[in-house]
Structure 1
Amino acid sequence: MRARFDTLFGRLFGVLLIAIVLAHLLAFAWFHYYGPPPPPPPPAFPEDMDGQRPPMDPRLAPRPARPWFGGPLVPLTFQLISLIIAAWYGAKLLSRPIQRLSDAAERLSENLDSAPLEESGPREARQAAHTFNKMQQRIIEQVKQRSRMLGAVSHDLRTPLSRLKLRLEQIDDDKLQGQMRQDLDDMISMLDATLGYLHEQRTSEASQWMDVQALVESLSENAQDQGANVQASGHCAPLQVQPMALRSCINNLLDNALRYAGNALITLEDNRQHLVIRVIDHGPGIAADKREAVFEPFFRLEGSRNRNSGGVGLGMTIAREAAQRLGGQLSLEETPGGGLTAIIRLPRT
């Protein structure tokens, strides 16, 4: 709760408000205790010979008591209200450019092709917006350059690998031919996985409302159509996410569960703060001291490079980075009774 209200606007407004109130309280106290003294009482007049007082000079007549609203309280109140309004407006003017910059940075983190920040407002705000827009353009150019490089690398590597596969047919030794074909298939699989991983890193998409429950049920049915033992349970309300990132995250976790355990259960748990997606299997599991290491690129628990036994070690990396792009977290726990449970926590904001 404290972090929610700990803003630049709140700090500026609070400091100015405290200073204004304190200054007025001190001024009021000084005016009350050290203000001008009341006028002296009129002098006494001797009685005349008939025992009656002579007529009093009107200038020396006692002044009537001033009403309560004639004192300094009302002017001070008006002044206090005016200064509070001025402090609020000034603090809002100071915090508005920073809020605009923060919103633009949030949009950029979700979509590199978001609209540039409007260069308006005070000079400092215009300079910050101009610098931010230049940074966005440089990032976009770097991403495009890397995309072109990935396309060139993919083409240059696939061409000699395809020629090698054709030349394998000229080898008479069937055993050697099979071993070399397996090695080439592994190389192609590693190339495809690496390019897919790099593609996931450079992909940006806008958030939109999505029926996560329908997505989970669709992935489960697709796996069942291919003969896999996959079940889905639970309900949830629609969530604002990046659809491709969420699909990639769940898909990689599901593939990992089916590869090692041959079965998987996807559960949904929804509340006001988070949507929790669990991919549960009853396979061999992962030791507690290795659960963070499996998120490193190309890390595999077994020494074999055979894709059939464990892929190339990028699935869990892609899944965690996809979860982070969604603003969530991905963690691993042991399944009760043996196995591995992958837990995706997505915020509802």
Structure 2
Amino acid sequence: MMHRFDTLFARLFSVSLLAIVLAHLLAFIWFTQYDFPPRPPRECLALADPGVAEQMPELHERCGPPVFRGPIVLLVFQLITLVAGAWYGAKLLARPIQRFNEAAERLSENLDSPPLLDAGPKEVQQAAQIFNRMQQRIRGQVQQRARMLGAVSHDLRTPLSRLKLRLEQIDNEKLQAQMRQDLNDMIGMLDATLTYLHEQRTSEALQRYDVQALVESLVENAQDHGAEVEAHGQCAPLQTQPMALRSCVSNLIDNALRYGGATRVELHDSDAALEIRIIDHGPGISAEQREAVFEPFFRLEGSRNRNSGGVGLGMTIAREAVQRLGGHLLLEETPGGGLTSIIGLPRGVPTD
């Protein structure tokens, strides 16, 4: 029976009613213990007339300030008690909202986060149960999509591999090269799409990581393949997700080398944040298109065409990786021409 009346309305009404009753009860106890304030003498009532107060100052001194002649103690008790009741009632209402806010934040970062505890008033329990069912449905849809993509990937790779083998039987070398390019593009798009979707659903633990060593390692690997790239600057280790950060920096360096040629990676460290700049002097990206390149499968004309490689997912993967780390990824024009990609990572521990 009590559970039926355990609602937010019932709790707030009970707190307010209790505060009012307690205020009057405390005032009654006070006056019972120390007697009620005496009725002021009749001559003191004349002080209500301003002219009398000016003509008889001795009467004003004997009667005291008018404010202390009324039931001031009662009003003080009521004010203090009602303020305390209002504060507690507001805190009581805000607590479940804060819990929902924290649960939604955890869900946005990780679909496998613990379910929301369905405790408290009736409305809160119902909302928590609906929230948990929503989380289960979202998780099920993501898992179903992953299974479907895995099946499509497996089913597509088999005929694509057979087609590549049959290309060798074509005598026309020009036609063979064109078809081989088309097949390679299809395989590249398939691999990039699966990588992107894998990055979206992957949850990685935070750990203290040497970002400087990561950047230097990526630069050295690119140099071993003949790329013109160099790293500058130093930074302290950072609490981050290593694989997500590696994916982001690697994609940005690859893009800079592919479209801009010579590339420079700079580390700028501070107590508040770490900034990684990937600078090239290629054709760059116009200001009105810099935000569009983060959309999946968006490809620029000219420099980012089919023959230059890529399927339009590198920048998308990079930004989403940085956002999972609580940072930001911006694109700016390099002085003198080119593109500068700026990764900003806070020194605080991001929420997972």
> Take 2:70 and 2:212, find their aligned partners in 1: how far apart are those partners?
69
Structure 1: unaligned runs, 5 residues or longer: 1-11, 21-34, 42-63
Asked if the contact 1:213/1:236 (under 8 Å) is kept, the reply is yes
Q: In structure 2, do the counterparts of structure 1 residues 272 and 88 end up closer, same or farther at CA, with 3 Å as the change threshold?
A: farther
**Structure 1 segment 81-100 matched on structure 2, within 5 A:** 81-100=80-99
Tell me the residue number matched to 1:305.
Answer: 306
Tell me the residue number matched to 1:232.
Answer: 231
Tell me the residue number matched to 2:138.
Answer: 139
Tell me the residue number matched to 1:248.
Answer: 247
AA of the residue aligned to 1:243: P
> Take 1:330 and 1:93, find their aligned partners in 2: how far apart are those partners?
39
Which has the larger helix fraction?
Answer: 2
Asked if the contact 1:111/1:206 (under 8 Å) is kept, the reply is no
Asked if the contact 2:40/2:69 (under 8 Å) is kept, the reply is no
Asked if the contact 1:208/1:240 (under 8 Å) is kept, the reply is yes
Deviation at 1:85, TM superposition (A): 2.8
Alpha-carbon deviations, 1:220-253, whole Å to 9, x = none? Answer: 3333343333322334444444433322221111
Deviation at 1:334, TM superposition (A): 1.2
AA of the residue aligned to 1:217: E
Deviation at 1:147, TM superposition (A): 0.5
> Take 1:210 and 1:103, find their aligned partners in 2: how far apart are those partners?
27
Tell me the residue number matched to 1:281.
Answer: 280
1:320 aligns with 2:319: yes
SS of the residue 2:189 aligns to = helix
Asked if the contact 1:284/1:339 (under 8 Å) is kept, the reply is yes
Deviation at 1:171, TM superposition (A): 1.9
Deviation at 1:297, TM superposition (A): 2.6
AA of the residue aligned to 2:93: L
Asked if the contact 1:116/1:133 (under 8 Å) is kept, the reply is yes
SS of the residue 1:231 aligns to = strand
Tell me the residue number matched to 1:38.
Answer: 40
Q: Report which of the two structures shows the higher radius of gyration computed on alpha carbons.
A: 1
Q: In structure 2, do the counterparts of structure 1 residues 237 and 86 end up closer, same or farther at CA, with 3 Å as the change threshold?
A: farther
Tell me the residue number matched to 2:26.
Answer: none
AA of the residue aligned to 1:322: A
Tell me the residue number matched to 2:328.
Answer: 329
Tell me the residue number matched to 1:168.
Answer: 167
AA of the residue aligned to 1:119: D
> Take 1:111 and 1:141, find their aligned partners in 2: how far apart are those partners?
14
Percent of aligned pairs sharing the same letter:
72
Of 178-187 and 209-218, deviating more is 209-218
Tell me the residue number matched to 1:24.
Answer: none
Asked if the contact 1:300/1:312 (under 8 Å) is kept, the reply is no
> Take 1:92 and 1:286, find their aligned partners in 2: how far apart are those partners?
50
Tell me the residue number matched to 1:198.
Answer: 197
Deviation at 1:260, TM superposition (A): 1.8
1:149 aligns with 2:141: no
TM-score (norm 1): 0.73
> Take 2:126 and 2:239, find their aligned partners in 1: how far apart are those partners?
33
SS of the residue 2:306 aligns to = coil
> Take 1:322 and 1:334, find their aligned partners in 2: how far apart are those partners?
22
AA of the residue aligned to 2:300: R
Q: In structure 2, do the counterparts of structure 1 residues 233 and 162 end up closer, same or farther at CA, with 3 Å as the change threshold?
A: same
> Take 1:209 and 1:109, find their aligned partners in 2: how far apart are those partners?
23
SS of the residue 1:193 aligns to = helix
Q: In structure 2, do the counterparts of structure 1 residues 304 and 230 end up closer, same or farther at CA, with 3 Å as the change threshold?
A: closer
Deviation at 1:278, TM superposition (A): 1.4
Structure 2: unaligned runs, 5 residues or longer: 1-11, 21-36, 44-61
> Take 2:95 and 2:72, find their aligned partners in 1: how far apart are those partners?
34
Deviation at 1:75, TM superposition (A): 5.4
Deviation at 1:72, TM superposition (A): 4.9
Asked if the contact 2:252/2:341 (under 8 Å) is kept, the reply is yes
1:119 aligns with 2:102: no
Alpha-carbon deviations, 1:278-313, whole Å to 9, x = none? Answer: 11112222233332332233313238422xx13222
> Take 1:213 and 1:123, find their aligned partners in 2: how far apart are those partners?
52
Q: How many residues align?
A: 293
Tell me the residue number matched to 1:262.
Answer: 261
Asked if the contact 1:252/1:319 (under 8 Å) is kept, the reply is yes
Deviation at 1:342, TM superposition (A): 0.8
AA of the residue aligned to 1:175: K
TM-score (norm 2): 0.72
Deviation at 1:80, TM superposition (A): 3.5
